[in-house]
Structure 1
Amino acid sequence: MTNRESQQFYSYSTKSSIKAKIGYRMCLSSVPSYVYATVKATESSLPHTFNVTVLDVKESYFEVELKRTDISEGWNMFVTVDWFFYIGNAVVYGNNVIWITDLFNSKSMNYTTAKTDCKDKGGKLVEIVDKPMYDVVYNYVRSNFVFGTKGAASFYLGSTYDPEADNVTQSNGEPGYNGNWNPGKWPVNDSGRQNLAVRVAFDLSLTNNGMRNVKPTNLRRSAIQICCMEIPAVITEIGIPNKLL
């Protein structure tokens, strides 16, 4: 479960920092795993800037310390707090929270349906930037997805592959990870196969796993959705079992 909220409230302090409790404005079944928050002056013409430190996370609220950074003085005004939280078993890499949307079930899907599903959940398809990130995401899937009787599962990436140039490009235009290709056939030199999927084998001795370039309409029969959400690097972690950092 992911959620973004924004709230305005009146704030007053005679010092350059104060503590405040922010309610989620919704009922939660458990304590959020991650919370990130920012604060700004509601009136955009004001010069006030703030650092926000998440001090504690509860089921109904989180506590923060607001510290003014433009000058070392207090304030008397309305502020706007924007926050993001995630509940579940996720992994953090850089400024991305990455999660499997369903830990127990795989299904037939293609790139388009996987992309839409992640967007509906407030995120986007994960994009792998380098070998360390590939290892983190791959091992996260192996450690957390319940394969059951299935020996492997696949997930789509948000990056694209150019077969002629043999390069991977992220959606922001930066280079993506171009390695750990599924041995033998891949990458396929076909201009229509510009989307990327990763096949994860539960048995480490199997070699039929890794990156594949695929067509957007190709169905992966045992596919899982892995979504990510970009957040600034400062984040609070609360009690995620089996987390990989």
Structure 2
Amino acid sequence: MAANGKHAYDVVVIGAGNGGLVAAIRVLQAGYSCLLVEKHNLPGGFATSFKRGRFEFEASLHELNDFGSPEEPGDVRKLFRDLGVEDKIDWVRIPEAYHLITTDKKYDCVMPFGQQAFIDKMEQYVPGSRRSMTDFFALCNEVRDAQTYSNSVNGNTDSAYMKKTFPNFVKAGSYSVNEVLDALKMPPKAKDILNAYWCYLGVDCDRMSFLHYGSMVIRYITRDAWMPKMRSHEISLALDARIRELGGDIWYQTEAET
């Protein structure tokens, strides 16, 4: 408990990065009083942008995965909605999933959002890839469904149910991305284009778990990506405003000492 004069707080959150901002909102939504302290003069932590000359740089965030539309929200949009800040941010939809350009193999591929659109575009770039891409997305959907089930039971899964309902999830669990794509007989060029997002998880596709990559790709391709019009700092400012709206206090330029 902290006190400022005669004002006492049930909870003190240290650090106004987005994690601290969200934690403060959750405390306030639960009915407790809260103080958030931050030694910097701005919220956001690494999730902010800065300018150098005529250029503006994002230090961390850029586009948000698993966001979805207002009508069919993904998990991230649902989080912002639950926090009460979705309508405080001007969201902009990213028009395409990604544009892959390479100098060695001379790829220049623009890949769209949407499973069928993605499969159709891959078939244009790599004739004969349709079946393997269709099987890939079917497996990814099974991965997502299995993870949803696991989350719903807090990880206490029934092994018999898992084997019966998600057999391919169980089979793929110990294999790398490329091992699974090879088993699906995916053409090498299609593998190159599909695996463009390996860098987001930081492990090459010969070693990366297929379950991790498949889970990320299916959420990204099916639920689009969005970003704040005024860059990631708009998120931090919206969270700041929500804390004050709920009656919380924020002290900037205040360092916590032990």
TM-score by length of 1: 0.23
TM-score by length of 2: 0.23
Greater fraction helix: 2
Greater RCO (Cα-Cα under 8 Å, separation 6 or more):
2
